[in-house]
A and B are shown apart, each in its own frame.
Chain A
Amino acid sequence: MTDATLTRSFTLRRFELWRFPGTRAVAIAALLYLYVPIVALVILSFSAGDSSLARWQGFSVHWYADVLANSDMLRAIRNSLLVASVATTTGTVIATMAALATSGPRFRLQTGFEAMIGLPLIVPDIVAGIATLLFFVMIGVPLGIVSIMLAHTVFAIPFAYLPIRARLQGLDPALAEAAADLYATPWQGFRRIVLPLIWPGIAAGAMLAFISSLGDVVVSYFVSGPGATTLPVYVFSMVRMGVTPAVNAISTLLMLASIALLTVSYLLGRRFQ
């Protein structure tokens, strides 16, 4: 067979064998599963009714107006986004460093170290929250928004660490050697070779850390100072008198903001390629 025929049959085979049957169906079903409640949630934000648990009661945008007029809610949103951004960035950087360290040759105490990294996941929220508050009060850390950032960085670490670690594991060690050979400093080797390779892991880890921080209620409640109430704490507090579609409105706005963020970073990424 000529080269051309070889390549063609090769490409044909590849095309049909890549598709593992059923994965697309499951993926689409899973995406539907993820988004059907979201669609319901968004639709309800336009409901004229007064509860997030009640059925549709006519169209209205007044909940959006309510949110924008409610300075306490806006402050809570601002606090949440601020805390999540800082905690995610710091936590992801720390987690990346830890993952790099543990993916080399195994060292003594590695199991202990990995258990420590996983610790924030195991400790129940309320215990972590009260323990951290007691500790902060004891050593005199002022309570405010920074105290929340500190507490959130702690659990951002394992959420970021696990995907990055999964990504690093099994990465050809020859690459690390090549990096050491090609570049003068380890940092350059990291930046030019390792970083691009583990980038999906870092992005995934950062996403998980971010949504975990956005969703945290208990720890944020206990270590916050006056004026630093975050969004989930505010929303949970509404339960006693009834959660209104204002929360649906905020959720919709935040999703739009995240999509806007993605679009911006995507366009920026394209520019710099």
Chain B
Amino acid sequence: MMASLRRSGLLAPSVLTIGALLILPLGLMAYVSTLERGPTGGVIWSQHTTDAYVQFLFERDLTDRLVVNTDYLHIFGRSIVVAAITTAITLIVAFPMALWMAFQPPRRRLLLVFIVTVPFWTNILVRNYAWILLLRNDGVIDWVLGRLGLTGEHINVLYTPLATTIGLTYSFLPYMVLPIYVSLEKLDRRLIEAAFDLGANRWLAFRRVILPLSMPGVVGGAILVFVPGLGAFISPELLGGAKSMMIGSLIQQQFGQSRNWPFGAALSFVLLVLVLLALSAHAARYRREPKP
């Protein structure tokens, strides 16, 4: 009884904050998605329509019939792929790094946590610009590689998907490193010692002890990278050449040049539903597995 009361007390602030400051506004936005567009942007509060949702999948052809339109699905698909790849690569880089950090002496550990985040006190635009300067032909990396005689011609990295991946992985690295580090750092050394004592080699100790215990961090990091990664558009536009749109730019455009607020709202809700479905599918699977 006391426990559940206390738990409610602990849960209340987040419920109130997110409830009042996000869920209510989102409700307003859901309402907006059912409204008629204003002629110059904004909405007409008195007129309702489902046009916004229809627009996601259909468009009107020359004879004013509804025809399936895959443009938006295509954009959604691409963003999901990019976010997934970014998450995977970030994980591959972050895990060993977090592992190394966790085994450092205690004072150095906190310093490393800090060092990982200091670069993000800088402004995101000039960070991306620095990448442009590094990656462009005749930029720093191109010049160095040329001088060292490693490459014959220009590297041609800027304005390609590779550049986008480099930029996105960069922006999201701390969001993957820190949760994994935090999980691994609490690892009881004695568990590993015990494993070694029992004759395990490094790989077995890793697989049976370290990996399972790092899972909460891995999952947390994956969520912190994948979900915001779906909406990322700055690195794709600056470093990737913007020849193809991401969900983030598409939705932003609806509130900008396209002046179609209801559609922008509708797109966000489609995105929201998709992500919530994915997350709950994962949660259901997690719950069915017995806890370690």
Stretch at the interface among B49-57, B63-71, B98-106, B146-154: B98-106
Residues on A with C-beta less than 8 A from B180 are 166
Could you tell me the dominant secondary structure of chain A's interface residues? helix
- Say whether B118 contacts A259, CB under 8 Å: yes
Given A52-B126, A170-B186, CB of A111 within 8 Å of CB of B283: yes
Question: CB-CB contacts of A209-250 with B at 8 A, as 1s and 0s?
Answer: 011001101100000000000011001100100010001101
- Say whether B271 contacts A124, CB under 8 Å: yes
Residues on A with C-beta less than 8 A from B100 are 20, 23-24, 26-27
Q: Is A117 an interface residue (CB 8 A)?
A: yes
- Say whether A113 contacts B11, CB under 8 Å: yes
Residues on A with C-beta less than 8 A from B38 are none
Q: Is B116 an interface residue (CB 8 A)?
A: yes
A219 CB to closest chain B CB (Å) equals 11
- Say whether B280 contacts A111, CB under 8 Å: yes
Which residue of the partner chain, among A115, A122, A236, contacts B271 with CB atoms under 8 Å? A122
CA distance A111 to B219 in the complex (A): 15
Q: Is B113 an interface residue (CB 8 A)?
A: yes
Residues on A with C-beta less than 8 A from B6 are 186
Residues on B with C-beta less than 8 A from A134 are 25, 28-29, 32
Residues on B with C-beta less than 8 A from A250 are 123
Which residue of the partner chain, among A18, A121, A200, A252, contacts B224 with CB atoms under 8 Å? A121
Query: Which residue on B lies nearest to A101, using beta carbons?
Result: B10
- Say whether B179 contacts A204, CB under 8 Å: yes
- Say whether B127 contacts A41, CB under 8 Å: yes
- Say whether A247 contacts B126, CB under 8 Å: yes
Which residue of the partner chain, among B17, B96, B178, B272, contacts A122 with CB atoms under 8 Å? B272
Question: CB-CB contacts of B189-204 with A at 8 A, as 1s and 0s?
Answer: 0001100100000100
CA distance A162 to B14 in the complex (A): 14
Q: Is A145 an interface residue (CB 8 A)?
A: no
Q: Is B162 an interface residue (CB 8 A)?
A: no
CA distance A204 to B175 in the complex (A): 9
- Say whether B22 contacts A121, CB under 8 Å: no
Most buried by B among A17, A41, A124, A210: A124
Q: Is B72 an interface residue (CB 8 A)?
A: no
Given A20-B99, A153-B21, A157-B17, CB of A162 within 8 Å of CB of B126: no
A197 CB to closest chain B CB (Å) equals 7
Residues on A with C-beta less than 8 A from B77 are none
Question: CB-CB contacts of A99-120 with B at 8 A, as 1s and 0s?
Answer: 0110010010001011111111
- Say whether A159 contacts B224, CB under 8 Å: yes
Query: Which residue on A lies nearest to B116, using beta carbons?
Result: A34
Query: Which residue on A lies nearest to B141, using beta carbons?
Result: A36
CA distance A38 to B255 in the complex (A): 33
- Say whether B186 contacts A211, CB under 8 Å: no
Q: Which of B14-62 contact A (CB under 8 A)?
A: 14-15, 17-19, 21-26, 28-29, 32
- Say whether B283 contacts A117, CB under 8 Å: no
Question: CB-CB contacts of B117-144 with A at 8 A, as 1s and 0s?
Answer: 1111111111101111110000010000
Question: CB-CB contacts of A31-71 with B at 8 A, as 1s and 0s?
Answer: 10111111011001000000011010000000000000000
Given A97-B14, A157-B17, A159-B224, CB of A211 within 8 Å of CB of B120: yes
Residues on A with C-beta less than 8 A from B120 are 211, 214-215
Q: Is A267 an interface residue (CB 8 A)?
A: no
Query: Which residue on A lies nearest to B24, using beta carbons?
Result: A135
- Say whether B14 contacts A95, CB under 8 Å: yes
- Say whether A38 contacts B114, CB under 8 Å: no
Which residue of the partner chain, among A115, A154, A170, A239, contacts B22 with CB atoms under 8 Å? A154
- Say whether A247 contacts B182, CB under 8 Å: no
Question: CB-CB contacts of A189-219 with B at 8 A, as 1s and 0s?
Answer: 0000000010011011001101100110110
Most buried by A among B127, B133, B219: B133
Residues on B with C-beta less than 8 A from A165 are 216, 220
- Say whether B22 contacts A128, CB under 8 Å: yes
Which residue of the partner chain, among A26, A201, A252, contacts B97 with CB atoms under 8 Å? A26
Residues on B with C-beta less than 8 A from A258 are 114, 118, 121
- Say whether A120 contacts B22, CB under 8 Å: yes
- Say whether A125 contacts B174, CB under 8 Å: no
Residues on B with C-beta less than 8 A from A135 are 24-25, 28
Q: Is B73 an interface residue (CB 8 A)?
A: no
CA distance A232 to B101 in the complex (A): 31
Can you list 13 contacts pairing A with B, beta carbon distance less than 8 Å? A20-B96, A38-B130, A111-B283, A127-B251, A127-B265, A131-B25, A154-B22, A169-B183, A207-B174, A214-B120, A251-B127, A255-B119, A262-B114
